[in-house]
Homo-oligomer: A and B are copies of this chain.
């Protein structure tokens, strides 16, 4: 979202600019791909993207040599955001709040974007870019955790690598519940945050109601459909 409006993708190495209709289609494809990969994950087909964009598959393949390039171009920005937000959190005044906020940000990112989640957690596409992002993230995360511990708020046995795993768990819950109640992950974030404190008197209020049994069944059914299951 922080992209410059005039990102016509010309000028990168003196290629001729695209014809106007072609450029318009290119933008449509990017928008459609964002939508589709975000919602349905990286397993979505380029045929799906083309349909969503209202163009033919051929058009997609003329513009992007393969799925990987499209994915890389799409997610670069969001991956960078995960790093820069962490860096900003490091500079915040309240170390405990900073850590909690970042955890919430990371979980929200992965929970709301199945594609990003697969990209960051499974090395299927764009290995190098993701590895680089992780590398930059590591010291920042460590500092974030250690500051919260030094402030006496965070339990001493918490580690920097717990952050991505917790975000992943929450995103899993989010994906599971998404057909019925996409926000429940916040409930479990609150629970975990209460577990991360060094000590506490009462409990924070869980911000979302639990799923009803009916909603669980709804989620089950929805996932059952999508998954493989012949006859």
Tell me the A residues contacting B by CB distance below 8 Å.
43, 66-67, 118, 121-125, 127, 130-131, 134, 138, 155-157, 159-162, 164-166, 168-170, 172-173, 176-177, 184, 187-188, 190-196, 198-203, 205-206, 209-213, 215-217, 220-221, 223-224, 227-231
Contact = CB atoms under 8 A, between A and B. Distances in A.
B210 A161 contact: yes
Contacts of A228: 43, 124
In the complex this chain forms, how many copies of it are found? Answer: 2
Chain A binding surface, main DSSP class: helix
A52 to B, nearest CB: 20
A118 B227 CA distance: 10
Contacts of A206: 157
Contacts of A211: 161, 165
Given A162-B188, A168-B172, A169-B169, 10 more contacts: A43-B228, A127-B224, A134-B216, A155-B203, A159-B209, A162-B191, A172-B173, A188-B192, A194-B195, A199-B201
